[in-house]
Chains A and B, each alone.
Chain A
Amino acid sequence: MSDPLPAGVVDRVEYDVERGKIREFTRATFTTDPVHTDPAAARDAGFGDVPATLTHTVVAGHQRDQRAFVDSLGLALARVVVGSVTWTYLRPLTAGDHVVGTRRVVDDVQREGKRGGTMRVVTLETEYVDADGEPVVRLEEVLIERGEQ
């Protein structure tokens, strides 16, 4: 984690996918499928251990400093909104996985806003790889910075 980040990389997070955190996230999102909380149900359904819920990668928030991250992109926090987020799944993230997520800027453009003024639209992609280095899930985030009034 202390290695310098390669060019174009915004940040990197690393964590163990744990049963307890999966349970917390399952409850916090009103998800009811017992495969997320009951290892026996998970095994009966063909999983090696309990699978994480679909947006589990949000737990990276525990390791991130949103203000420092926004500053590093040269964005004004008060004018930034998250426009959209898309997850692409290569296999279910499962308790026992150890993942490293590397976030990169893949697009950074100026656009004309609908009501005049210019917006900056920054697209970030985070790829999470497992302990074998195989990709598990990719996450695309689009940040929109409104122009100054």
Chain B
Amino acid sequence: MRTPAKVRVGDAPDTRVVGPISQTDIVRFAGAGGDFNPLHHDPGFVATSGFPGVIAMGQMQAGILAGWLSDTFGVEHVRSFGVRFVAPVFLGDTLTVGGTVATITEANGESLATLDLVASGTKGPVVIGSATVVVAAT
């Protein structure tokens, strides 16, 4: 196992910028995950839906946020990851993903950090999340 990250409360590791989100990005995620809801790829269907355009599946932006988390802290150190979906992502949106260390507690000989996470689009947050990760003892 790799060494856990050294962080302090209030730290905000470098964010990641992904986008502009293309139809290809959404189709690639559909193929990976198996979500073939036409809202995510069929403009003719979308026109009947009330949405102004094709939207990404929430699990795509959740997965992008999770990727930042595991790339930053190590997938083996992540104990939990949670997301709330707060706004849709449209074609052409650019996402910024990252998080801040909210707390660090010692339990059973480990240091566990809680993180406040957010993926934001051009107009504000699209996914709000939280995570628990093992970090280096302070």
Residues of A at the B interface (CB closer than 8 Å) are 21, 24-33, 35-36, 45-47, 51, 53-55, 58-64, 66, 81-89, 92, 140
Contact = CB atoms under 8 A, between A and B. Distances in A.
Contact of A32 (B33, B34, B63, B71): B71
Given A46-B2, A55-B59, A61 B85 contact: no
Interface stretch (B6-14, B73-81, B98-106, B108-116): B73-81
Interface residues of B, number: 35
- B interface, over-half SS: helix
B54 interface: no
A89 B78 contact: yes
B69 A54 contact: yes
Nearest to A64: B34
Nearest 9 CB-CB pairs, A to B? Answer: A62-B34, A61-B34, A31-B67, A86-B82, A29-B63, A54-B66, A28-B32, A58-B33, A28-B29
Contacts of A60: 34
B125 interface: no
